[in-house]
Amino acid sequence: MIDISESVMQFLLAFLVVAPLAGAAAALLPAPPGLRGTSPDQAVLRHGVTVTGAVLAAAIVLTLGFDHDRPSRMQATTDISWIPALDVRIHLGVDGISLPLLVLTALLTFLCALYSYFNMPAGPSPKAFVALLLVLESGTLATFAVLDLLLFFLAFEMVLIPMYFLIARWGGEGRRPAAWRFILYTLLGSVVMLLGLLLIGLKAGTFDMVALATDNGRDITTSVQVIAVLAIGIGLAVKTPMWPLHSWLPDAHTAAPTVGSVLLAGVLLKMGTYGFVRIALPITPDGMHTLAPYLAAFATAGIIYGSLACLSLARTGARGDLKRLIAYSSVGHMGFVLLGIATMTPTGVNGALFANVAHGLITGLLFFLVGAIKDRYGTADLDTLAGATGAALYGRAPRLGGLLAFAAVASLGLPGLAGFWGEMLALFGAFRPAEGLSRPAFLTFMAVGAFGTLLTAAYLLVVVRRVCMGAKPAPDQPVLPDVQRYEFAAWSPLAVLTVVAGLWPAVLLGLTDPAVQKLLAGGKS
């Protein structure tokens, strides 16, 4: 780690939020003659790689300058009055909870920009595509960096429009209905969430998330906390997505372009669970305590529902779409995150935060791989891929098949890979939930969740068998390209980090645990 002054850290965090917005505006301008390359389209795509690369570099420097000995302390803070009449402030900061999500967002967006430079999805002008990608990045990074409830809401909403257009304009079949369902579900959930945020701010007399977390709900009655958690939780649950508010997700993933699916699964879903950790747990603990068993029940139902839906799509004759299957798997995986949060214990919440990052890495890689398979075969239909000739990736594209098998076993939670630790810690948290929560109920949730891991292994192994295995291709069959250089560059960081996080979980847990301990203790270290 390196010693960086507080003023430079403040600049870096502000740069993370503002630079993509400035880059989005610049993307719409004509490229200078010396930077046009062979075409204006190539110039703007290169611009997207440059801006997202600069943001990723800033995130890495911010991580190196972060005081890892005190991850529970808000660092790189900026606090400027914005709307004095409402006491709304431009308040930014980063701690051990938000830092991994900032880096994950910067990494995935850069990899998506790099992938798009070589494999731009079919659709309108790349100018609008790059601008929307950068606005999406800015909104997501702002969500993880802001420390004011109203700013959180604005950042939370900022990502909706760019994601809507990415699906509606660059998506595949059924893209317009899928985009409309995405935006209607999330907007309706956000309206309810705003009412909950306003209720907290007006009752407590401040929208400052640090002050509210330190107060730990002492100035807000239990009944108000319950109403606030219910309202905020609905908006967050839609974005997560929690069963039964998940129905927008499969259509959105199926229709979205590859990079849209990667960002939707890798970072947008994390905004919902992050809101539960950053707002619901420390600011309204009594309300969260009342509703935690119900949250755990819905989370567990989502684990089983997502797994059964995937098993149904994976069976022969179901005409299951591989992208849709992975979307349903996200419902199950995010169920483990919500279960960990619902335990209200350091073990469970740390597991939830770890699973958040692991899911972003693994599912992002899975969507990249499925997009590549669809590009090569012209379809993601499982029955077509596993038909008479079969995809037989091990024989036709062995590196692609090997990566798909690796991502699948990582997703099912194989020990030694990132997917294992988050789910295990969430289940351990359910084994001994916070004081006052029904232990028999949470033991039941734990048992059902553990059964869900078996179902997860079942459908992912079926997918690997059907897509990767099969008869060797005949000599007269066309040769499929294996992993290209640009694909290797975009995918290898996710594979490497999946292994590193699985073998060395202390790197991530060392950041999150002190911050979680302080958060659950009401702002006291």
Task: Look at residue 230 in the predicted model and tell me its pLDDT.
Answer: 92
Q: How far apart are CA 11 and CA 74, in angstroms?
A: 15
Share of the chain above pLDDT 70, in %: 94
Q: Which helix (H) or strand (E) holds 67?
A: none
Query: Buried b / exposed e across 337-351, counting CB within 10 Å, b at 16+?
Result: bbbbbbbbbbbbbbb
Q: How far apart are CA 189 and CA 207, in angstroms?
A: 20
Statement: residue 357 has pLDDT above 90? yes
Tens-place pLDDT, residues 254-286? 888 989 999 988 888 899 999 999 999 999 998
Tens-place pLDDT, residues 59-84? 999 999 898 888 888 888 888 888 78
Tokens of residue 487, six digits: 């694909």
Statement: residue 387 has pLDDT above 70? no
Tokens of residue 396, six digits: 């036709």
Tens-place pLDDT, residues 144-179? 999 999 999 999 989 989 999 999 888 878 888 888
Look at residue 92 and give its three-state secondary structure. Answer: strand
pLDDT averaged over the chain?
Answer: 87
Task: Look at residue 435 in the predicted model and tell me its pLDDT.
Answer: 87
Tens-place pLDDT, residues 122-131? 878 888 899 9
Closest Cα partner for 392 from 461, 476, 313, 464?
464
Tens-place pLDDT, residues 459-482? 998 888 888 876 666 655 666 777
Task: Look at residue 391 in the predicted model and tell me its pLDDT.
Answer: 58
Tokens of residue 426, six digits: 């969430």
Q: How far apart are CA 279 and CA 211, in angstroms?
A: 11
Q: How far apart are CA 224 and CA 282, in angstroms?
A: 15
Closest Cα partner for 246 from 311, 314, 329, 190?
329
Dihedral of the alpha carbons of 274, 302, 497, 5, in degrees to the nearest 10: 0
Q: What are the backbone angles phi and psi of residue 493, rounded to the nearest 5°?
A: -60, -35
Closest Cα partner for 136 from 12, 30, 256?
256
Query: Buried b / exposed e across 229-264, counting CB within 10 Å, b at 16+?
Result: bbbbbbbbbbbbbbbebbebbbbbbbbbbbbbbbbb
Whether this model's pTM surpasses 0.75: yes
Tokens of residue 23, six digits: 């880059």
Tokens of residue 438, six digits: 């029904």
